[in-house]
Chain A
């Protein structure tokens, strides 16, 4: 292992924490944002499916009604 690369002329103790802090902060924000998006997408699709199935039920009900003899005109 190249220790000179890690030591960076004696400034490694400042350079590495700066890079690590930057990347850890970015990764934490990315994970947090992604989890929040996935959670909201799940809730949204649940609500959307509920609405869709309610619409389908209403449409089916209308179809049944229109097919019944009372609603048919001759």
Chain B
């Protein structure tokens, strides 16, 4: 499976695959929207404001997962120096950054009716802003450092330092007193939310993962082409 991400393989990636993923995305999102805005019930305390959860939670999950992958890939990159790993990490960053921004904005929109404030500098919210700054730093290094090797090294170091922030985000609600509620879904225990809310959440998460895959494949192909073109230019 890993061989499919080799640069030569990704160059032969056809538009048919992207188009079929796009069809799946539209279908899943359509279903997700019907469930999250219409079928799922309002919460007995939060009322209909709970519907923000269906975009807030999947985006937070994806933003953390993307940075986790970038961080681990950066460690592998520094150790094994495999050329296509930085291209893959670089391709994940914009989508991860977008989902972090979505998570912060939708969280703020959810915070106003729930906590009575748009923003509070508590541990969970602040650590998410720090994650966004790490994403910005990572993307800006690739954008403004012209040498590939130099940008690769600096961005890898940023990603590895940023990796330390992920456990802080995850456990901030347990370590400190925060406005943010503890996790309702964990990998180790049964979810504490009702299935009528869990189903739309899973559908929206599936839709966003398909979206992530589409953006990643397009971006990875773009970066591979740019890399090959630079190689050709340097040969000349």
Interface residues of A (CB under 8 A from B): 5, 8-12, 14-15, 17-19, 21-22, 25-26, 29-30, 33-34, 36-37, 40-41, 43-44, 47
Contact = CB atoms under 8 A, between A and B. Distances in A.
Interface of B: 33, 37-38, 42, 47-49, 51-52, 55-56, 59, 94-95, 98, 101-102, 105-106, 109-110, 112-113, 211, 214-215, 218-219, 221-222, 225-226, 228-229, 232
Closest 7 CB pairs of A and B: A8-B48, A11-B49, A9-B48, A18-B106, A22-B55, A11-B48, A40-B225
Q: Secondary structure at chain B's binding surface: helix, strand, loop or mixed?
A: helix
Contacts of B38: 5
Contacts of A9: 42, 47-48
A37 B216 CA distance: 11
Contact of A36 (B106, B110, B222): B222
Given A5-B38, A9-B42, A41 B225 contact: yes
A23 B122 CA distance: 27
Contact of B37 (A17, A19, A21, A47): A19
A34 B106 contact: no
B215 A29 contact: yes
25 contacts: A5-B38, A9-B42, A11-B47, A11-B51, A14-B52, A14-B110, A14-B112, A15-B37, A15-B48, A15-B49, A15-B52, A17-B109, A18-B52, A19-B33, A22-B106, A36-B219, A36-B222, A37-B219, A37-B221, A40-B225, A40-B229, A43-B229, A44-B228, A44-B229, A47-B229
